[in-house]
């Protein structure tokens, strides 16, 4: 099989703990089979700086919490055929979005992180991307095609969804996925 | 009790059951499990969650199986595309209504709402979630209520009233603002009627009422009401 | 009629000053006082009776004053011009033309059965009611068997005016047949819909019609105890009813051995605290029992297991006010008005962008167009008609093309509206249909009792989606979300509140979808109602 015929897959890490990517790796030896069918064209696991065009499947971990991630998500959506929300942060907002129930959480969360614990020169850094008022799951911003809930999602489930997608079938989630 | 029996069909299966039996019970007796959240054996039916809606041929109306008595000649359908769709919407509405974050919830893996979402294939919620700021009360010696996880099924209220017999719990306000309260809206630690029997924590389908520091699988005993009622009825 | 003549003879003129909740804020009590002074001043108090009455029906041009004989209706009467009316009309016999209400259009197509006495009798005087033939129905029914009374009801074809349109005679048969006792009657005067005031007006104008209706019902079904459930926001109606009950008791029309027969019936008021849902029949029962007004699933139906698990008849007060007429004149007579499947008349609170707002009573089967354009006099200020909301906050928004449907329970349901409690709101080109649907959804969010998921959680999410669309953040997928959740709320809710709450959403999506698309795609609101404040919810 030539590399050209391989399915172009990407993974993206937004506001998540990277646990979903760990679970992706937990597919273990099944990754070997997968590697025969896919090319990983962009991922925290490979060293590509710019998200490429014409991606077949992109798995995104994490909620959208700041403007940089918002722009990234829109770019990815524009360049991907099938977009998959990977893990609870991407699917529900999860822990990343717990701040949403505070008022003015974009400010409050920065102060809590940078000011409250500091003994000297307490200040919110200005170089970090501006936080959105709410952290959001992906599908509240762009169209998402499939969802893999779980915190983290089980490696078997990730493998099941990828296998189905590669076979051109829509995964059936009844009785398979679990939040948390 | 009436000894008259009624014949009907549930999902094509011929069923005979005593007059007055609910569709839910009659179905269960022949091994057909209809999804439920608010209903709990041993407590009076409530009809609130609407997971148990079923179709009855001859009418476009849907009927809650937990409160609808069987009728002669009824032809009941418990699974259809429409029902599946509606049940999924119901679960999504419950997940979106308050802050349900399974990964950090005491009831993770022991939650009926989480399990229902799994069973029905609710892999995302189409509504924007409402990040609630309901009050958490941990003033009791060991019982905690986190109202952000409450789905307002009133099982706790019913078990406290009907099984424990003290009626510590009830609702205040209405609609989306409804809250489970203790006595006349006292802090739980100040409740003078609560016997600390834990039955509310045992039957709560989610992680809204729990025992501090106790593994959730030790607390949850959702058949406590059924068990007590059965014992009481033994002669 | 003989009594009527006698009473007309005693006084040559009768000046009826509407002192109901609609006219009092306009200064009706001052006008009343001015009339009393003026008739004395001109020395005509012997031939002219000044009466404090209930609503005449022209609430927007109050204070309204009706001078009999001849039914001269004066509008916007001020204390300053009262002398003029007494001098010219009463003393000289020349009505004051420039103050007369142009009554042709407004009253021509109305047919006043329920409101037969409204504005014509002093509601605080039982004698006034009796003079008009009141309590004749009760007298007549006491000589009949209960079954004969029920048969008359069935023949009349009367259906419940509280919204659902259940055949009243059939309901009575069910309660009459129920084996348990005692039996109860609950008169529903909760009227929780915003902008609706027909039941209040009835109670303020003709309380004895309700009481007589209850008595006849009690006789027919064998009840000995009744409650009128009335919201506490209706102080004048409460006062009027309390007085009426006391007067009826004093005349042995209520209590033990009514009119010296073995029939007994006792009546009490119960007060609601202003929750829309408390008008739902199972919620009302809970509330009368002193519990939280939360609906419960049916069966068991109240006819078998209502108040304290006893058979209970729940009836809207407008339904009840029809009863004395049916008994006096016969079911067949009643059935001549309206349509074959939907007999009699219906009161509507006609409001919104219409020239003659007010309380109207029209025969069933009249078209919406006649109500809006003939009775209502059309849209003011040369504006274009846009839609009419029929059935209160959970009614349907109907466009011009549906105005020719007849008003009856079944036709309204077919097009997505309901009879409801009889609220009709006319909307002109200045209204935004998305905003209208949002407004009524928010009302229902606040009024949901919270028991069932679709209504409690579903309506709240609909409200969110409307917030998004009217903020400029709407997406086309929001329309699907609205459609899917509305149908679940309609089909899945426990009680009528949730089942009908999505009607404004469903009908505006059905008949005015282009407006939604305009809001979502072009971020444009032609009526200028939306996109005013940009909420903090926005992400971009
Ligand atoms: C949310 C809700 C509110 C209602 N409010 C009233 C009300 O204010 N007055 C009323 O007569 N019926 C109301 N109803 C209808 C009653 O449930 C009941 O059908 C009616 O009182 C029966 O009387 P009828 O047969 O004379 O119409 C309401 C129903 C619902 C679902
Ligand atoms: S611990 Fe027992 S008595 Fe106390 S609130 Fe819970 S159920 Fe009621
Ligand atoms: S606390 Fe638990 S048992 Fe009680 S109403 Fe809420 S979800 Fe139900
Ligand atoms: S439909 Fe609404 S008002 Fe009726 S029971 Fe359900 S939550 Fe309560
Ligand atoms: S189980 Fe029937 S409504 Fe909840």
Q: What is the pLDDT of residues C445-500, one digit of tens each?
A: 999 999 999 999 999 999 999 999 999 999 999 999 999 999 999 999 999 999 99
Please list, in sequence order, all residues whose beta carbon lies within 8 angstroms of the beta carbon of residue C98, skipping any fewer than 6 positions away.
Answer: none
pLDDT at B1 over 80: no
Q: What is the dihedral of CA C243, C244, C247, C249, to 10 degrees?
A: -110
| C111, part of any domain | no
pLDDT at C53 over 70: yes
Considering the domain architecture, whether residues C363 and C329 belong to the same structural domain is answered as no
Per the structure, the complete domain to which residue C484 belongs is given by 433-539
For residue B183, how far is its CA from the centre of ligand 2 (angstroms)?
A: 11
CATH number of B5-79: 3.10.20.740
Of C88-92, C371-375, C406-410, C531-535, the range with the lowest mean pLDDT is C531-535
CATH number of B86-234: 3.30.70.20
- Segment 17-56 of chain B within 8 Å of chain C by CB: 45-51, 53
Domain count across chain A:
1
Q: Which residues of A touch B95 (CB under 8 A)?
A: 92
Considering the domain architecture, whether residues C194 and C286 belong to the same structural domain is answered as yes
pLDDT at C3 over 80: no
* Residue A66 belongs to domain with CATH number: 3.40.50.700
Please list, in sequence order, all residues whose beta carbon lies within 8 angstroms of the beta carbon of residue C303, skipping any fewer than 6 positions away.
Answer: C171, C174, C175, C178, C311, C312, C313
Q: Any bridge partners for residue C167, and if so which? A: C159
Considering the domain architecture, whether residues C190 and C147 belong to the same structural domain is answered as yes
- The residue among B193, B204, B231, B216 whose CA lies nearest residue B109 is B216
Percent of chain B with pLDDT over 70: 99
Q: Which of C399, C428, C457 is the last residue of a domain?
A: C428
Element (H, E) at C10: helix C2-10
Q: What is the pLDDT of residue C343?
A: 97
Of B168-182, C91-105, C240-254, the range with the lowest mean pLDDT is C91-105
| A156, part of any domain | yes
pLDDT at C293 over 90: yes
Considering the domain architecture, whether residues C198 and C309 belong to the same structural domain is answered as yes
Q: Report residue A43 as tokens.
A: 């991922």
- The residue among B62, B61, B78 whose CA lies nearest residue B13 is B78
Cα–Cα distances in Å, from B94 out to A89, B13, B117, B198, C484? 18, 32, 10, 24, 16
**CA–CA separation, C510 and C19 (whole Å):** 42
Percent of chain B with pLDDT over 90: 98
Per the structure, the complete domain to which residue A145 belongs is given by 7-97+132-166
Considering the domain architecture, whether residues C453 and C409 belong to the same structural domain is answered as no
Q: Which residues lie with the beta carbon below 6 Å from any ligand 5 atom? A: B 36-39, 47-52, 64, 66
Task: Give the ranges where chain B is alpha helix by DSSP (H).
Answer: 23-29, 81-97, 112-120, 155-158, 199-203, 216-219, 224-233
Structure-token match 């007298």, residue found? C139
Q: Three-state SS across chain A? A: CCHHHCEEEEEEECECCCHHHHHHHCCCCHHHHHHHHEEEEECCCCCCCCCCCCEEEEEEECEEEEHHHHHHHHHHHHHEEEEEEECHHHHHCHHHHHHHHCCCHHHHHHHHHHHCCCCCCCCCCCCCCCEEEEEECHHHCCCCCEEECCCCCCHHHHHHHHHHHHCCCCCCCCCCCCCC
Please list, in sequence order, all residues whose beta carbon lies within 8 angstroms of the beta carbon of residue C356, skipping any fewer than 6 positions away.
Answer: C58, C60, C105, C106, C350, C375, C376, C377
- The residue among C304, C327, C314, C246 whose CA lies nearest residue C280 is C314
Considering the domain architecture, whether residues C308 and C447 belong to the same structural domain is answered as no
Number of neighbours of residue A26 by Cβ within 10 angstroms? 17
Considering the domain architecture, whether residues C322 and C365 belong to the same structural domain is answered as no
| Gyration radius from chain B CA atoms | 19
* Cα B107 off chain centre by: 15
Please list, in sequence order, all residues whose beta carbon lies within 8 angstroms of the beta carbon of residue C18, skipping any fewer than 6 positions away.
Answer: C28, C53, C54, C55, C56, C62, C63, C64, C65, C66, C119
Q: Given CB atoms, is A137 within the 8 Å cutoff of chain B?
A: yes
* Residue C380 belongs to domain with CATH number: 3.10.20.600
| A107, part of any domain | no
Structure-token match 């009343």, residue found? C32
Q: Which of C335, C364, C396 is the last residue of a domain?
A: C335
Please list, in sequence order, all residues whose beta carbon lies within 8 angstroms of the beta carbon of residue A84, skipping any fewer than 6 positions away.
Answer: A57, A58, A59, A60, A144, A145, A146, A147, A148, A161, A165
pLDDT at C164 over 60: yes
Q: Given CB atoms, is A144 within the 8 Å cutoff of chain B?
A: yes
Q: What is the pLDDT of residue B92?
A: 98
Q: Given CB atoms, is B135 within the 8 Å cutoff of chain A?
A: no
Q: Give the minimum alpha-carbon distance from B92 to chain C in angstroms, rounded to a whole number.
A: 10
Q: What is the pLDDT of residues C56-78, one digit of tens each?
A: 888 888 899 999 998 899 999 99
| A78, part of any domain | yes
Cα–Cα distances in Å, from B58 out to B19, B55, B64? 21, 9, 16
Confidence band for C6, pLDDT divided at 50, 70 and 90: low
Please give the ipTM for the structure prediction.
0.97
* Residue C147 belongs to domain with CATH number: 3.40.50.11540
**Nearest CB to B47: which of C297, C461, C485?**
C297
Q: Which residues of B touch A147 (CB under 8 A)?
A: 123-124
Q: What is the pLDDT of residue C7?
A: 58
Q: Given CB atoms, is B8 within the 8 Å cutoff of chain C?
A: no
| C117, part of any domain | no
For residue C188, how far is its CA from the centre of ligand 1 (angstroms)?
A: 7
Considering the domain architecture, whether residues C392 and C448 belong to the same structural domain is answered as no
Residue in A with minimal Cα distance to B117: A178
| C126, part of any domain | no
Q: Report residue C146 as tokens.
A: 């209960």
For residue C449, how far is its CA from the centre of ligand 4 (angstroms)?
A: 5
Q: What is the pLDDT of residues C203-248, one digit of tens each?
A: 999 999 999 999 999 999 999 999 999 999 999 999 999 999 999 9
Q: Whose CA is nearest to atom 2 of ligand 3?
A: B204
For ligand 1, say whether the CB of C161 is within 6 Å of any of its atoms. Answer: yes
pLDDT at C17 over 50: yes
| Residues B65, B34 contacting (CB under 8 angstroms) | yes
Considering the domain architecture, whether residues C286 and C354 belong to the same structural domain is answered as no
**Mean pLDDT taken over chain B:** 96
Q: What is the pLDDT of residue C540?
A: 34
- The residue among C204, C54, C218 whose CA lies nearest residue C120 is C54
Structural domain boundaries in chain B: 5-79, 86-234
**CA–CA separation, C230 and C351 (whole Å):** 22
Q: Whose CA is nearest to atom 6 of ligand 3?
A: B150
Domain count across chain C:
4
Considering the domain architecture, whether residues C422 and C405 belong to the same structural domain is answered as yes
Which residues in chain A show pLDDT less than 70? 1-4
Q: Which of C428, C457, C486 is the last residue of a domain?
A: C428
| C127, part of any domain | no
Q: What is the pLDDT of residue A4?
A: 55
Of A128-132, C185-189, C440-444, the range with the lowest mean pLDDT is A128-132
pLDDT at C129 over 90: yes
Q: What is the pLDDT of residue B2?
A: 52
pLDDT at C104 over 80: no
Residue in A with minimal Cα distance to C477: A143
Q: Report residue A108 as tokens.
A: 């409050």
Q: What is the pLDDT of residues C239-264, one digit of tens each?
A: 999 999 999 999 999 999 999 999 99
Structure-token match 């409307």, residue found? C466
Confidence band for B137, pLDDT divided at 50, 70 and 90: very high
Closest ligand to Cα C494: 4
Please list, in sequence order, all residues whose beta carbon lies within 8 angstroms of the beta carbon of residue B104, skipping any fewer than 6 positions away.
Answer: A95, A98
**CA–CA separation, A76 and B153 (whole Å):** 41
pLDDT at C4 over 60: no
Element (H, E) at B63: strand B62-64
Considering the domain architecture, whether residues C143 and C200 belong to the same structural domain is answered as yes
Q: Which residues lie with the beta carbon below 6 Å from any ligand 3 atom? A: B 150-156, 180, 204-206, 208-209
Count of all residues that appear for chain C in the document: 540
| Residues C193, C313 contacting (CB under 8 angstroms) | no
pLDDT at C535 over 60: no
Q: What is the pLDDT of residue C5?
A: 52
- The residue among C244, C319, C255 whose CA lies nearest residue C281 is C319
Q: What is the pLDDT of residue C58?
A: 85
| A118, part of any domain | no
pLDDT at C36 over 80: yes
| A122, part of any domain | no
Q: What is the pLDDT of residue A103?
A: 86
Confidence band for C421, pLDDT divided at 50, 70 and 90: confident
Cβ separation of B124 and A134 shorter than 8 Å?
Answer: no
Under DSSP, the state recorded for C196 is: -
| A111, part of any domain | no
Strands B179-182 vs B209-211: parallel, antiparallel or unpaired: unpaired
């Amino acid at each position: 099989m030539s590399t050209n015929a391989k399915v172009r897959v990407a993974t993206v890490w937004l506001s998540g703990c990277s646990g979903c990517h760990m679970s992706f790796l937990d597919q273990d030896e099944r990754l070997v089979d997968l590697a025969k069918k896919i090319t990983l064209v962009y991922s925290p696991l490979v060293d590509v700086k710019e998200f490429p065009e014409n991606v077949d499947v992109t798995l995104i971990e994490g909620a959208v919490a700041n403007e940089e991630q918002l722009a990234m998500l829109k770019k990815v959506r524009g360049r991907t055929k099938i977009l998959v929300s990977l893990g609870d942060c991407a699917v529900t907002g999860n822990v990343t979005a717990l701040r949403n129930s505070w008022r003015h959480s974009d400010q409050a969360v920065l102060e809590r992180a940078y000011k409250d614990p500091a003994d000297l020169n307490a200040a919110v850094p200005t170089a970090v991307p501006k936080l959105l008022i709410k952290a959001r799951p992906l599908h509240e911003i762009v169209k998402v095609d499939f969802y893999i809930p779980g915190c983290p999602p089980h490696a078997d489930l990730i493998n099941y969804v990828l296998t189905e997608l590669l076979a051109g079938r829509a995964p059936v989630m009844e009785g398979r996925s679990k939040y948390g | 009790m009436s000894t008259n029996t009624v014949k009907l069909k549930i999902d094509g299966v011929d069923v005979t059951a005593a007059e007055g039996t609910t569709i839910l019970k009659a179905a269960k007796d022949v091994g057909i499990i209809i999804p439920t959240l608010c209903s709990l054996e041993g407590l009076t039916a409530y009809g609130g969650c609407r997971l148990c809606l079923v179709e009855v041929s001859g009418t476009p109306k849907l009927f809650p199986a937990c409160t609808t008595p069987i009728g002669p000649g009824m032809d009941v359908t418990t699974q259809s595309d429409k029902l599946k769709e509606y049940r999924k919407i119901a679960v999504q509405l419950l997940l979106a209504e308050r802050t349900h974050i399974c990964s950090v919830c005491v009831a993770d893996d022991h939650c009926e709402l989480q399990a229902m979402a799994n069973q029905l294939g609710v892999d995302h919620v189409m509504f924007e979630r409402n990040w609630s700021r309901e009050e958490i009360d941990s003033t009791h010696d060991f019982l905690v209520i986190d109202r952000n996880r409450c789905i307002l099924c009133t099982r706790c209220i019913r078990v406290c009233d009907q099984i424990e017999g003290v009626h510590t719990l009830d609702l205040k306000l209405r609609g989306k603002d409804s809250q489970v309260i203790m006595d006349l809206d006292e802090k739980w630690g100040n409740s003078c009627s609560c016997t600390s029997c834990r039955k509310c924590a045992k039957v709560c389908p989610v992680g809204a009422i729990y025992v501090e520091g106790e593994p959730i699988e030790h607390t949850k005993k959702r058949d406590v009401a059924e068990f007590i009622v059965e014992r009481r009825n033994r002669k | 009629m003989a009594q009527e003549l006698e009473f007309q003879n005693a006084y040559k003129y009768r000046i009826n000053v509407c002192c109901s909740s609609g006219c009092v804020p306009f200064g009706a009590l001052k006008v009343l006082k001015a009339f009393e002074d003026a008739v004395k001043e001109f020395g005509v108090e012997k031939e002219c009776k000044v009466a404090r009455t209930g609503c005449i029906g022209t609430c927007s041009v109050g204070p309204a004053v009706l001078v009999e004989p001849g039914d001269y209706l004066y509008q916007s009467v001020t204390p300053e011009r009262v002398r003029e009316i007494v001098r010219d009309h009463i003393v000289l016999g020349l009505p004051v033309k420039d103050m007369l209400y142009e009554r042709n259009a407004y009253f021509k197509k109305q047919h006043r059965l329920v409101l037969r006495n409204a504005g014509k009798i002093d509601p605080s005087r039982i004698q006034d009611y009796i003079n008009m033939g009141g309590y004749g129905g009760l007298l007549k029914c006491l000589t009949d068997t209960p079954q004969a009374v029920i048969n008359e009801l069935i023949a009349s074809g009367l259906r419940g005016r509280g919204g659902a349109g259940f055949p009243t005679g059939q309901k009575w048969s069910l309660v009459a047949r129920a084996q348990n006792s005692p039996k109860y009657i609950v008169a529903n005067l909760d009227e929780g819909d915003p902008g609706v005031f027909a039941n209040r007006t009835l109670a303020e104008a003709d309380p004895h019609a309700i009481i007589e209706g209850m008595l006849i019902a009690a006789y027919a079904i064998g009840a000995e105890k009744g409650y009128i459930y009335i919201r506490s926001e209706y102080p004048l109606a409460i006062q009027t009813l309390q007085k009426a009950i006391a007067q009826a008791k004093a005349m042995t029309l209520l209590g033990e051995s009514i009119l010296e027969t073995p029939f007994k019936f006792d009546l009490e008021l119960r007060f609601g605290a202003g929750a829309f849902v408390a008008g739902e029949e199972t919620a009302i029962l809970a509330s009368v029992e002193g519990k939280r007004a939360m609906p419960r699933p049916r069966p068991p139906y109240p006819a078998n297991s209502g108040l304290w698990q006893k058979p209970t008849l729940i009836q809207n007060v407008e339904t009840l006010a029809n009863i004395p007429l049916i008994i006096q004149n016969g079911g067949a007579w009643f059935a001549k008005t309206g349509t074959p499947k939907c007999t009699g008349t219906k009161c509507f609170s006609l409001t919104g962008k219409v020239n003659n707002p007010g309380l109207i009573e029209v025969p069933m089967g009249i078209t919406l167009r006649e109500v809006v354009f003939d009775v209502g006099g059309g849209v003011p200020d040369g504006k274009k008609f846009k839609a009419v909301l029929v059935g209160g906050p959970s009614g349907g928004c109907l466009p011009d093309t549906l105005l020719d449907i007849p008003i009856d329970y079944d036709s309204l349901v077919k097009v997505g509206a309901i009879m409801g409690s009889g609220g009709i709101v006319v909307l002109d080109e200045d209204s935004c249909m998305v905003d209208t649907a949002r407004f009524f959804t928010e009302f229902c969010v606040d009024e949901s009792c919270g028991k069932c998921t679709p209504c409690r959680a579903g309506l709240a999410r609909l409200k969110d989606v409307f917030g998004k669309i009217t903020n400029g953040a709407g997406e086309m997928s929001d329309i699907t979300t609205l459609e899917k959740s509305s149908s679940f709320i309609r089909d899945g809710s426990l009680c009528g509140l949730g089942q009908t709450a999505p009607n404004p959403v469903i009908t505006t999506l059905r008949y005015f979808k282009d407006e939604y698309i305009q809001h979502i795609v072009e971020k444009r609101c032609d009526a200028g109602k939306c996109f005013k404040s940009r909420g903090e919810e926005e992400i971009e």
